[in-house]
Structure 1
Amino acid sequence: MRTARRLFAAVALAGAALLGPAAPAGLADTATPTPSGSAGGAAAEAGPTEAGTSFRTAAFFRQEQQATAQAATGDYLYWAFPADTGQRPTVTATVTLPEASLRHGASAWRIDVYDGLRRRQPCVYGMQSRTAAKEAATVELSCTLRPVRSAADAWSNDPLPGSYFVRLTVTSLPEEDSGQPFSVRVGATSRDLGGAYATDGALAVPLVPGATDPKAVEARAPEDGWSSGWWSDRWLWTAAGGVLAALAGLAGYTLTRGSGRPAHVPPSA
């Protein structure tokens, strides 16, 4: 029985050592939806200072950068940024409105996010549409997407690695306010979920519209490049499960073997 206790202790210690580093990835989805990086931080890297007017002319920026633009109220503005496997991107936009004395009423603003196939992706957190009162100076919008998967069925509409498009527009305002100048700051950050949302398989190439040359695809990649899609912390969980199963089997064998021995009978006087 002493040997069995030692084996069970070894199983517990092995589980704590092997599962400890991988546990945060599995718990990431239950944490607060706000990403660890701040899109409006002082250390944020500067991005483009103009926006595109269509998907084809979208201004490219990388996560943690700040893209800015000045436009006229009523224009559609487009940006694009890369998102990779295991990331859950959050897009933020801060619109600085025209002076209140020049406006005639409230206005409603909206951001939409599309993947590389130009499929609109739903927001699981955030306020992607807001109404700004006539006296408001700014309006802040945000959209947190679902986790990006390495592969998915065509009908699932799941986010896949590649370029993501951000579109900003005003959806409602007094007719007299159309064409007034405004400015906007857009950024994107991600929470890395690791193997919690990893899937088998991977795309041949990330979904980067208009980029057929591998060099062009890499030019639109995240700062540290596209991931291969095969590694995730699921490997740690698999290895830990194998070790624990082996130790549990050894412990069970020892207990069974010990219980089968005849009880010790002291010699008679």
Structure 2
Amino acid sequence: MGLGGAVARHGLEDELMRTTHLLRTRLWATVGLAGLAALLTAAPALAASTDDDTPRTDAGTSFRTATEIEQGHRATASASTGDYLYWSFPADAGQRPTVKATVKLPESAAHRPGTRWRVDVYDGLRRRQSCMYGMQSRPADAATVDLACTLRPVRAWSDTWSNDPLPGTYYIRLTATGLRTADLGAPVTAEVEANSKDIGGAAAVDGTLAKPLVPGASVDSDDPDDAADSGTRAALSTAEPEDGWASGWWTDRWIWTGAGGVLAALAGIGGYALTRGNGRAPSGA
């Protein structure tokens, strides 16, 4: 009986040691996955903080001449009431862009009844995108008019009949409506800025575009004597995200799916270790 009790006690100690080792391994794996997820989530913010914040001081007057700006950078322009002002910026899959505009009016142009300032955002196909929220249009009832428009999350792919925002170039158009002839030509100063919130896996879809919607035109030279210009490309927009176009293949769903699989496997191993017994035959008489 003494020998059987010692064997049973030894087997129980071995089982407790294996269980403790499995729990410790699972704990460290969980901590490591949580740290990796936090690092990957913080990486875009760290990259954005090192951007050069050099403002642009001009604006285009059409889609083709829109001034390119980077997200997080403020652009300013001096114009006249009645002008159409255009800027463009890149937006990638998983982002939810927000455009803010401020118009500063002289006293002669402020408090004009019927005059409204409006900001619109168009995608690379020149489809006007609706705003989820934000004051997109305001009356010119003060010396400063603040406008904002938050778009829906940019999707990596959508059906052809859908008007969903897609990766590519986005255009900002700022203008005044309801102007009288006497109001035209008044000097104004405009400021615009585009920022995005990373939505991540919440906006992920099963599909990707072959290329982002960046308007451009290929210009090929058929003249053999002009080899230097052969195959050149004249693009209407050249701006792209700092890290390039993601093409929708990577989202944080990969992290949480992998973490869930690892935790499920560890839970299965731990449950098996706790319920399988010590594997030793009972001692005989």
Shorter-chain-normalised TM-score: which range?
0.7 to 0.9
Give me the whole-angstrom Cα distance separating, in 2, the residues matched to 1:153 and 1:23: 33
How far 1:237 moved relative to its partner? 1.6
Alignment partner, residue 219 of structure 1? 238
Structure 1 alignment gaps of length 5 or more: 27-36
Question: Structure 1: how far apart are the matches of 2:154 and 2:39?
Answer: 18
Match of 1:245 among 264, 267, 272: 264
Q: Which amino acid is the alignment partner of residue 67 of structure 1?
A: A
- Give CA deviations for 1:94-123 in whole Å, capped at 9, x if unaligned: 101122477644632111111111122122
1:165-201 per-position Cα deviation (integer Å, ceiling 9, x unaligned): 1111212345532332212111212223333423333
**Alpha carbons 2:216, 2:237 under 8 Å: kept:** no
Question: Which residue, out of 85, 106, 109, partners 2:117?
Answer: 109
Deviation (angstroms), 1:21: 4.3
The letter of the residue matching 1:220 is A
Per-residue deviation, 1:232 = 2.8
User: Which blocks of at least 5 consecutive residues in structure 2 are unaligned?
Assistant: 1-14, 42-47, 219-231
> In the alignment, which residue of structure 1 is the partner of 2:98?
90
TM-score, normalising length from structure 1?
0.76
Tell me the distance in 2 between the aligned counterparts of 1:158 and 1:113. Answer: 13
Q: Which moved more, 1:99-108 or 1:203-212?
A: 99-108
Residue of structure 1 aligned with 2:130, choices 85, 103, 122: 122
Of structures 1 and 2, the larger Rg is shown by: 2
Tell me the SS of whatever aligns to 1:45.
coil
Q: Is the 8 A contact 2:214 2:237 kept in 1?
A: no
What is aligned with 1:80?
Answer: 88
1:182 aligned to 2:188?
yes
CA displacement at 1:129 relative to structure 2: 1.4
Which deviates more from structure 2 when the two are superposed, residues 10-19 or residues 148-157?
A: 10-19
Equivalence for 1:18 = 33
Partner residue of 2:205? 199
Deviation at 1:25, TM superposition (A): 8.4
1:124 and 1:144 in contact (8 A); partners too = yes
* Contact 2:59/2:86 (<8 A) preserved: no
Aligned pair count reads 251
Normalization by structure 2: what TM-score? 0.73
